[in-house]
Structure 1
Amino acid sequence: MLYLWVAIGGAIGSVARFWFGNAMAATLGAAFPWGTLTINVLGSFLISFFSGLTGMGHRFALPSDARIFFTVGVCGGFTTFSSFSLQTVELARGGQTGRAALYVAASLIICLAACAFGVWAASAINQQAVSRA
């Protein structure tokens, strides 16, 4: 049942991201990805604020299923950057600043490299298709 709640939350977050990104582009233009930046900032705030208020022993403690619905489902659908941000802050708060820095650097470098590789691989496949035509 928890997987269903995560899926429903993910659908809500994904639709919210799509709507919000389009609204930002319509308002501010598409020359800079303001929508994505704002979504990442907002999602990072929401996941940490919610987690800080609803965890065990916190003011509004909720069952883990409700927390997972919002953090993994809604926030995960809205932006996975929020999970990355929360995990980094949790590492740093736990005294693992070296691991937090390594996580940030590895995420940035490896993900950008993977993205560049994906673009290169798709381009190579597309060029093969053009040469055969």
Structure 2
Amino acid sequence: MRLLGKEPVDVRVLAAIAAGGAAGALARLAAESLLPAPRGAFPWATFGVNVFGCALIGVLMVLVTEVAARAPRLARPFLGVGVLGGFTTFSTYAVQARDLLTAGAATVAAAYLAGTLAAAVAATWAGMRITRALARR
């Protein structure tokens, strides 16, 4: 199959991404449903999902690129792009920051924007470091 006249695309890869994305999005929906954020309040569910998802992305990337020499071909598209791509939600992060600003909660919006960014980068780094340390054992 060709998309937009580019190189052929493996339909199995697209199916893996779609299935993983559906699973990740459903997991995120469950988290958001369990911990909804009232108007003007810090959106803890989205924050937690994004930080945890970034930690898992760090773990996964080390596993599929450094540890597992023969990782299944569809592991990265299914888990990385699909599950974790559907689970993490930086588009919702941006919308929620805007909503906090329009609700008059500029301080909360700033804390959410900066805190999510810093925590997500730190979580990715920690996931990678911990996975590498454990893999060396």
- What range is the shorter-chain TM-score in? 0.5 to 0.7
Query: Which has more helix, going by share of residues?
Result: 1
With over 3 angstroms needed to count, the CA separation of the structure-2 counterparts of 1:61 and 1:24, relative to structure 1, is farther
Q: How many residues are aligned here?
A: 82
Structure 1 unaligned residues grouped into runs of 5+: 91-133
DSSP-derived class of the 1:62 partner: coil
With over 3 angstroms needed to count, the CA separation of the structure-2 counterparts of 1:37 and 1:61, relative to structure 1, is farther
Mapped to 2, the partners of 1:12 and 1:2 lie a distance apart of 15
Mapped to 1, the partners of 2:71 and 2:89 lie a distance apart of 22
Give the AA of the match of 2:79: F
Mapped to 2, the partners of 1:66 and 1:4 lie a distance apart of 12
Report the counterpart of residue 83 of structure 2 in structure 1.
Answer: 74
Give TM-score, length-normalised by structure 1.
Answer: 0.53
Matches within 5 A, 1:1-133: 1-25=12-36, 30=38, 31-55=41-65, 57-59=66-68, 61-81=70-90
DSSP-derived class of the 2:67 partner: coil
Mapped to 2, the partners of 1:19 and 1:60 lie a distance apart of 34
Q: Percent identity?
A: 38
RMSD: 2.6
Give the AA of the match of 1:21: E
Q: Deviation above 6 Å: which 4+ runs of structure 1?
A: none
Larger radius of gyration: 1
- The question of whether the paired residues in 2 share the 8 Å contact of 1:53 and 1:61 is answered with no
Mapped to 2, the partners of 1:60 and 1:13 lie a distance apart of 25
Give the AA of the match of 2:57: I
Structure of greater relative contact order (alpha carbons < 8 Å, 6+ residues apart): 2
Mapped to 2, the partners of 1:61 and 1:51 lie a distance apart of 13
- The question of whether the paired residues in 1 share the 8 Å contact of 2:46 and 2:89 is answered with no
DSSP-derived class of the 2:35 partner: helix
